[in-house]
Amino acid sequence: MRTGGRIRYILRSGPCFMHERRTTTGADLPVEASLAAQVQEVRQQQKLLRQGRLRNLLVWAVLLSILFHIGLMICLHLIERARAERPPQEFQVSIASLLPEEELTDLPESSLEQPAESTLDTLDDLLDASDQGALTADSSAAELEFTEAGATPTLGGAGARGNVEGLGGAGAAGSFFGITTAGRRFAYIVDKSASMEGERLQEAKKELLRSIRSLPDYARFYILFYSSSIEEPVMQESWLMARSPVINGVANWIDRVSVGGLTVPLPAFRRVFGLEERPDVIFFLTDGEITSMSAQQVAQLNDRGLRTVINTIAFDDDRSQDLLMQIAKDSGGVYRFVDTNSRRRP
């Protein structure tokens, strides 16, 4: 009976034991699932964090690259600008050609006070030889007869007189019909009205080409032909560099310029003074009477910054002499009358 009782005890205790084991196993499963979910969530967060850091690194890399390239472009621009504005040292070679004129001023004073007749003949021969040497093939201005008012001595060739200030410091010198002025940017305002027909326009074109070709290659120029309207080179969006390919293109355009219209120069002055970089020198040529512009209007345009030197040329007709002289005087420039007919006189 004991045996039977023991069996009953085991049977009675067995279900309880089994029930307790099943209860323990069922409680462990949610814990393991929760831990796995937490691990997965941590890994996902780490992955997102790495992706965020990578995006931040890419953004910073792009920003640093942009800033670096902007700084590099600015540095290159400043270097190129400084190089363009720096005059080459060989410019002093052009000054050497001016020394013969200085030697003429070193004549002994005694030889000028009471010269003998033979001395005068010798001086005449020297002057004739000097005049022949001064007439070069590329200078039509040397063959013209000049009359100047208020001009000051300059370092120009062929007896030219103009307003040259600080030739070495300004970096370049431009000449037009015998007037020579120092600067870097030279503007040419040339009359092409109906009265310029024939030899007048051809003489103006020839001297204009000679002038821009004589500029050093680091100088810049700007050309306007005016009448009732303005005409300019098709390639001229701003200042043009005085280099052979550019000048050759401008020369082809100048050859096609024709006359026509009235003498109205004020719009051309407004265009030139409206440039982002103001001109250092303006050469202004006209052959007629100007009634549509005053010297005061030009002076007002010239007062909006550093003063530009304006050299004025009356071409065969001096009816606007007072106006041209006043414009030149107000700007520190030179007025000159040019007689193109003198070359054709017998």
Where are the chain's structural domains?
Answer: 1-86, 140-344
Q: Are 298 and 330 in contact (CB under 8 A)?
A: yes
pTM metric for this prediction: 0.55
Q: How confident is the model at residue 193 (pLDDT cuts 50, 70, 90)?
A: very high
The better pLDDT of the pair 5, 160 is held by 5
How far apart, in whole angstroms, are the C-alpha atoms of residue 150 and residue 334? 6
How far apart, in whole angstroms, are the C-alpha atoms of residue 232 and residue 168? 31
In the predicted model, is pLDDT for residue 16 greater than 60?
no
Helix-helix angle 266-273:295-302, to 10 degrees? 10
The better pLDDT of the pair 191, 171 is held by 191
How far apart, in whole angstroms, are the C-alpha atoms of residue 174 and residue 214? 7
Q: How confident is the model at residue 85 (pLDDT cuts 50, 70, 90)?
A: low
Closest Cα to residue 230, out of 204, 206, 260? 260
- Specify the pLDDT at position 26: 56
Q: How confident is the model at residue 171 (pLDDT cuts 50, 70, 90)?
A: low
What percent of the chain clears pLDDT 70, i.e. is strictly above it?
Answer: 64
Q: How confident is the model at residue 27 (pLDDT cuts 50, 70, 90)?
A: low
Q: Would you say the C-alpha torsion 209, 210, 214, 215 has a positive or negative sign?
A: negative
Which residue is associated with the tokens 């420039």? Answer: 333
Pick the CATH number of 140-344 from 1.10.1040.10, 3.40.1180.10, 3.90.550.10, 3.40.50.410: 3.40.50.410
Instruction: Give 305: exposed, middle or buried? Use CB within 10 Å, 0-12, 13-18, 19+.
Output: exposed
pLDDT in tens, 263-320: 999 999 999 999 999 999 999 999 988 999 999 999 999 987 789 999 999 988 888 8
Mean pLDDT of the chain: 75
Which whole number is the average pLDDT over 92-106? 39
pLDDT in tens, 212-269: 999 999 999 999 999 999 999 999 999 999 999 999 999 999 999 999 999 999 999 9
**220-226 and 230-231: which strand pairing?**
antiparallel
